[in-house]
Amino acid sequence: MPIVFLREQMDLELLEPIREVVDGQQRLRTMISFIEPALLEDYNPDRDAFVVTKQHNPELAGKSFSQLPAAIRKQILNYDFSVHILSSDTEDREVLQIFARMNSTGVKLNKQELRNAEFYGAFKRVAYDLALEQLGRWRKWKVFSEDDIARMSEVEVTSDFIRLMLEGVQSMSQPILDRLYRNNEDDFTHDAEVSHRFRLTMDKIDESVGEILFDNRFYA
């Protein structure tokens, strides 16, 4: 989990320290709403409640924190957050500047990054797992640069390869990929067959032209 930034203050009446969240409120709120929602004064189950889905973990799907096995609850509670604490003399103006810098990269999210944020289900899991399996080959073949990989270009291409298997040859379309993710969010019945074909194809590409791909027009 990315680092959380806090600012330490002092309650002069209670003589107790107070730590304000500068950056990371959503991360902390998500954890609290799952572990102990009563700690959130404005907790709204329609907005804040969530459960693990079967695509992420079939054994834990649909369970609340209290229903998890003791070992897993302990593992969650023992998780160490990376935290940076700003001193109490950090002025509000400086806090706002820090927050703005951390949350304004100036780089517009591409379509695959937006899909990554919007979807969590079955099709996404298959596409991301297959793309990750081939990470060594993407780098060896140099079809994608490191920046491309960081921005999920190989996942988008993997998603489109799956689309070609399902729907036949046609030009890539971002709306079509969006539809594919959306329509297969809850379940993706072609998981096993698509994964098998994709792996066989990648093996064949590597066997046939894997050593020369970096030296032709497909080079990134």
All residues at 6 or more sequence positions from 89 whose CB lies less than 8 Å from its CB, including other chains: none
CA 70, chain centre distance (Å)? 26
Same domain for 98 and 124, yes or no, is: no
What does the pLDDT read at residue 82?
87
Q: Is residue 152 part of a domain?
A: yes
Q: What gap in Å lies between CA 138 and CA 47, rounded to an integer?
A: 39
Same domain for 125 and 201, yes or no, is: yes
**Burial of residue 198, with CB atoms counted within 10 A of its CB: 0-12 exposed, 13-18 middle, 19 or more buried:** buried
All residues at 6 or more sequence positions from 163 whose CB lies less than 8 Å from its CB, including other chains: 172, 176, 177, 180
Bridge partners, residue 86, by sequence? 7
pLDDT 10s digit of each residue in the chain, 220 long? 778 888 888 877 887 888 888 888 888 998 999 999 999 989 988 888 888 888 788 888 889 999 999 999 999 999 988 888 888 877 777 777 777 666 665 567 789 988 887 888 899 999 999 999 999 999 888 888 888 888 889 999 999 999 999 999 888 889 999 999 999 998 999 999 999 999 999 999 999 887 887 776 655 4
Same domain for 206 and 119, yes or no, is: yes
End residue of a domain, out of 86, 103, 120: 103
Q: Is residue 220 part of a domain?
A: no
What does the pLDDT read at residue 46?
86
Range of the domain at 98: 4-103
Q: Is residue 147 part of a domain?
A: yes
All residues at 6 or more sequence positions from 118 whose CB lies less than 8 Å from its CB, including other chains: 181
